[in-house]
Structure 1
């Protein structure tokens, strides 16, 4: 399972889902453009800084990483709470929650069989892990920063926005025709380079110009990710102890 930088950059999380261009019929008054007079690069700077300041958001999308497609949908806040789900190329899926410095993951049978055990584990070993975790949550201490993996890759808001800051293009952008993202008018900014084309959609809101969507086409890691529910607290309840398996216990069983 990959860390956040891949999630943001590529799945920076499918092939482009481009919103339809909005328009007005003749005679309609167009609302004032909150970005009038700003270059595309300046709009990008403003949107990144605004999104970085959010105390919470939902991030959902689909993308390819190393040629394999993964779908994620999760919410995270700056108090260490997160919850969501993911689907992996082999067809399995898993729920993810994090709270109080601990992360939990509960996968279906296909998920554990395809991801369980150490690299090179036999089908019998992966099957044993799947049986041990059936209907239960795998519990593990949270890790922070760029090296976090597993559920922690989805639960560290600080690292997610850091990766966003580093990966979102902010120089040499072109402003395209405005569009609509789930009912919200958006300015559309794009940049082409040897790695493909990155297009992102910024809410046309002078006070809170959040990034609403990022689309990457071409290159090795195409994907689309949508952001929503900004500053909405994430409520998480840890599962009961009798429904969890501690990671240390799991590692002993695997050995």
Structure 2
């Protein structure tokens, strides 16, 4: 038995980029010789062409070493996933995840290995009649799988999460700046866009340089906030006696 931990984060970040521009060539043409001036603005950033904002966001997000993500996504089957996780470029992460109808868990990844500590609801959804046996074996230990040690570590790799930010799959000409809004004490520029699935959404981009994504929201697909940019992240590997190897259950 292997837990179902495949979470669709990468398309979510690609969706965020889709809020902010057109293809690379259009962005360059729109910015012209003033390409650098849009990035340096700290006021009236809403006057910046949407293509330039897209380039600014891509540059800012790709320079990050750590970032905190909190929000929800809805997968292709309509299942809601709540998450609150801090991710680093080195592949370490820590946080919590709740999968609607499945259960919740604490998650960490450190030194290329992922671990999680799930609740009884999760094990019941995964183990069925064997759930009580599994939880009896695991107790309060962190779980990992020596046959697949990376597990969901890909979801904790900032490089992987941000890899789609250079995608050419970007929203059409209807993306537009709609104003400004305070989000958790940070001034943002709001951008209306249409997702690849045809749903209306709003992206919130920091008005001051660096122009990070602060939040984006597509009611039919989910919402995600970004914060704690480049704050130090130290994840401690569980002691050997605190780890249960799921490979023993196969």
Bin for the TM-score computed over the shorter chain: 0.7 to 0.9
For residue 199 of structure 1, what is the aligned residue in structure 2? 202
Structure 1 residue 32 displacement after superposition: 6.1
Q: Please tell me whether residue 89 in structure 1 is matched to residue 89 in structure 2.
A: no
Residue segments in structure 2 that go unaligned for 5+ positions in a row: 1-5, 18-40
Name the SS of the counterpart of 1:125 in structure 2: helix
Structure 1 residue 124 displacement after superposition: 1.5
Change (3 A) 1:231 1:105: same
For residue 101 of structure 1, what is the aligned residue in structure 2? 112
Does the 8 Å contact 2:110/2:235 carry over to 1? yes
Q: Which moved more, 1:33-42 or 1:188-197?
A: 33-42
State the TM-score, normalizing by the size of structure 2.
Answer: 0.77
What are the Cα deviations for residues 40-60 of structure 1, in whole angstroms up to 9, with x where unaligned?
121122112211210110011
For residue 237 of structure 1, what is the aligned residue in structure 2? 236
What is the distance in 1 between the residues matched to 2:74 and 2:164? 17
For residue 48 of structure 1, what is the aligned residue in structure 2? 58
Change (3 A) 1:138 1:69: same
Does the 8 Å contact 1:103/1:142 carry over to 2? no
Does the 8 Å contact 1:178/1:188 carry over to 2? yes
Q: Which moved more, 1:31-40 or 1:97-106?
A: 31-40
Structure 1 residue 136 displacement after superposition: 1.2
Aligned length, in residue pairs: 219
Does the 8 Å contact 2:103/2:125 carry over to 1? yes
Residue segments in structure 1 that go unaligned for 5+ positions in a row: 13-30, 117-122
What is the distance in 1 between the residues matched to 2:212 and 2:191? 13
For residue 128 of structure 1, what is the aligned residue in structure 2? 133
What are the Cα deviations for residues 116-170 of structure 1, in whole angstroms up to 9, with x where unaligned?
4xxxxxx223443333223111124697xxxx98532431111101134449845
Does the 8 Å contact 1:169/1:191 carry over to 2? no
What are the Cα deviations for residues 168-187 of structure 1, in whole angstroms up to 9, with x where unaligned?
84552200121111010000
Q: Please tell me whether residue 161 in structure 1 is matched to residue 162 in structure 2.
A: yes
Does the 8 Å contact 2:10/2:162 carry over to 1? no
What are the Cα deviations for residues 76-104 of structure 1, in whole angstroms up to 9, with x where unaligned?
11122110000111262100011112111
Greater RCO, 1 or 2 (C-alpha within 8 Å, sep 6+): 1
Name the SS of the counterpart of 2:7 in structure 1: coil
Cα RMSD over matched residues?
Answer: 2.9
Structure 1 residue 4 displacement after superposition: 2.8
More helix as a share of residues? 2
Alignment equivalent of 1:188, drawn from 187, 190, 193: 190
Name the SS of the counterpart of 2:140 in structure 1: coil
What is the distance in 2 between the residues matched to 1:187 and 1:42? 13
